[in-house]
Amino acid sequence: MDVKAYCSNMRGEIESWKSQIADHMKKADRRSAEMDQAPQAIVKINELITELEETIGRLEVECPADWSSEKAQLDGILSDLERLWQEAAESSPDDL
């Protein structure tokens, strides 16, 4: 897969994560929770999503011929996102 197709696919995945987080935070808001009271996993997920967006944005601009190190980094971030989402589900199962 070339870098442009990968970035396009990754944009869709980022939007999916953002939607899941937004849904979670709406549920938390209904219980009058504040962001600083959100599970730590959710806070970290937001940070990782930002990192994904920045890396994808850079790849889209630079469009390097060899982007294997960036792909490995992005794959690691996605793995971390999935793990943290599971942690958030375990700590707050009614919300996720």
| Average pLDDT in the chain | 80
Percentage above 70 pLDDT, the chain? 79
Q: Whole-angstrom Cα distance, residue 37 to residue 52?
A: 24
What was the pLDDT predicted at 62? Answer: 87
List the chain domain ranges. 3-91
Residue spans of beta strands (DSSP E) within the chain: none
Residue 37 pLDDT class (50, 70, 90 cuts): low
Please state the rounded mean pLDDT for residues 66-87: 89
Residue 92 pLDDT class (50, 70, 90 cuts): low
Residue, of 93 and 64, whose pLDDT is higher: 64
Q: Whole-angstrom Cα distance, residue 75 to residue 46?
A: 16
